Copies of this chain bind each other. A is one copy, B any other.
Amino acid sequence: MKNSFGQNLIVTLFGESHGPAIGAVMDGLAPGIPVDESFIADQLTLRRPAGDLSTARREADAFSIVSGVFEGKTTGTPLCILIPNTDTRSGDYTALRHLPRPGHADYTAQCKYHGHQDYRGGGHFSGRLTAALVAAGAIALTALRSKGICIGTHILRCSGLSDRPFGDLASDLAALNTMPFAVLDRAAAQAMQQAVLRAAADGDSVGGVLETAVTGLPAGVGEPWFDTVEGLLSHALFSIPAVKGVEFGDGFAMADAAGSCCNDSFCLKNGRVVTKTNHNGGINGGITNGMPILFRCAVKPTPSIAREQETVDLRSGESVPLQIRGRHDPAIVHRARVVVDSVAALVLCDLLTGRFGTDWLCGRTDEAPAERAAT
């Protein structure tokens, strides 16, 4: 479905980096979910560039909700969020119109849209559009939280440095959700930030690995064969610019392990079936088993770097050197993590809505007697 994702909760993205606005439409939200605009703003702040670690482009991200909310709650009809673009300096891009930047979508967009694409700042492919995903995701996160489902992501690796692994998930997720630079170990956080600054000073950029946990999901969610939890999450996660790998549980490490070390034995804990270990990341056969979901995303280094690169002038067909000016991020892994949370929340709301019906994500609170009788 191109720019839409989901079957029961459907999110549609639109907009270009240098157009008047970007935005998203969410269709299939349960009626009655509280919409907390300050929480949306907080989430946008976590994604927004800040300080030396990010591009100098500064957008206020002053969003407006155009539809689907009434008296502070979702109506159940499509919710459209609009985020105007304000700090655009399109002139930076004129010279690049026919010079595709390596690692970007410039050349592939040219092949697909035959030159009609808005080339300025990556146009529709700009990471700017993830702001709309974050705004939409904030509403999904609220709905999930009301059902006891929590999501959090930390920077597990950045520029070759590692954070400590997840420990107690309840406290780790709570801590992460307000951290501007989401690293659990303070020393690791400082080292990573210095590495980003060194790369920036060097005209280069760095990537990383984001690790995400989801707690509180009921067992039995997921639709084999194709709409598995892994399949749907990875499908959506690969939409995040720069994500080039996704793994669940022990992931690629399982390829070298013995079967006896990968199976998670079942046992009973407080009257509930749980697994002793969680090598499979809370998913068996594509369906949740009630344990925390664990996955990791590989985020490649930002392709916009200050160093001179080589490209081809698409008009003349000649090789030319390329110097990218404009404002860019030496790393996006710290900004991407709230996008990962948002995408995961949207995918899970979609799956849960399909599994339990359109009212599940919000308790019914306003039944008129007549209606109760009729149904």
* Bound-state Cα–Cα, A312 to B222, Å: 22
A206 at the interface (CB under 8 A from B): yes
Number of copies of chain A assembled together: 4
The smallest C-beta distance from A260 to any residue of chain B, in angstroms, reads 5
A254 at the interface (CB under 8 A from B): yes
A80 at the interface (CB under 8 A from B): yes
CB distance A370 to B272 under 8 Å? yes
A104 at the interface (CB under 8 A from B): yes
Which of A209, A359, A370 has the most C-beta atoms of chain B within 10 angstroms of its own C-beta? A370
* Bound-state Cα–Cα, A336 to B170, Å: 38
* Bound-state Cα–Cα, A59 to B273, Å: 35
A165 at the interface (CB under 8 A from B): no
- Residues of A194-217 contacting chain B, CB below 8 A: 199, 203-209
Instruction: Determine the residue in chain B with the shortest Cβ distance to A220.
Output: B111
CB distance A267 to B310 under 8 Å? yes
* Bound-state Cα–Cα, A194 to B369, Å: 44
Chain B contacts for A112, CB-based, 8 A: 31, 76, 220-222, 287
The smallest C-beta distance from A63 to any residue of chain B, in angstroms, reads 12
* Bound-state Cα–Cα, A258 to B205, Å: 6
* Bound-state Cα–Cα, A370 to B268, Å: 8
CB distance B259 to A31 under 8 Å? no
Chain B contacts for A272, CB-based, 8 A: 370, 373-374
A177 at the interface (CB under 8 A from B): no
Tell me whether A27 and B7 are in contact in the complex, defined as CB-CB below 8 angstroms, given that A244-B254, A370-B273 are known contacts.
Answer: no
A146 at the interface (CB under 8 A from B): no
Instruction: Determine the residue in chain B with the shortest Cβ distance to A77.
Output: B124
- Residues of A289-342 contacting chain B, CB below 8 A: 289-290, 298-305, 307, 309-312, 314-315, 317-319
* Bound-state Cα–Cα, A199 to B262, Å: 14
Chain B contacts for A223, CB-based, 8 A: 2-3
CB distance A371 to B23 under 8 Å? no
Tell me whether A67 and B16 are in contact in the complex, defined as CB-CB below 8 angstroms, given that A104-B284, A244-B254, A245-B247 are known contacts.
Answer: yes
CB distance B108 to A288 under 8 Å? yes
Residue interface bits A340-368, CB-to-B below 8 A is 1, else 0: 00000000000000111111100011111
CB distance B66 to A309 under 8 Å? no
Chain B contacts for A227, CB-based, 8 A: 1-2
CB distance B355 to A13 under 8 Å? no
Instruction: Determine the residue in chain B with the shortest Cβ distance to A79.
Output: B14
Which of A43-51, A178-186, A228-236 lies at the interface? A228-236
The smallest C-beta distance from A141 to any residue of chain B, in angstroms, reads 19
Q: List 30 A-B contacts (CB under 8 A).
A: A3-B225, A5-B225, A12-B78, A15-B78, A31-B116, A75-B118, A100-B266, A107-B284, A108-B285, A108-B287, A110-B371, A111-B289, A112-B221, A204-B259, A205-B259, A205-B260, A218-B374, A231-B234, A232-B235, A244-B251, A245-B247, A245-B255, A260-B305, A273-B370, A273-B373, A312-B370, A354-B357, A355-B357, A355-B358, A357-B360
| 5 smallest beta-carbon distances between A and B, as pairs | A105-B285, A245-B247, A111-B220, A205-B259, A115-B366
* Given A232-B235, A251-B298, 5 new contacts (CB under 8 A): A207-B255, A209-B252, A231-B234, A245-B247, A272-B374
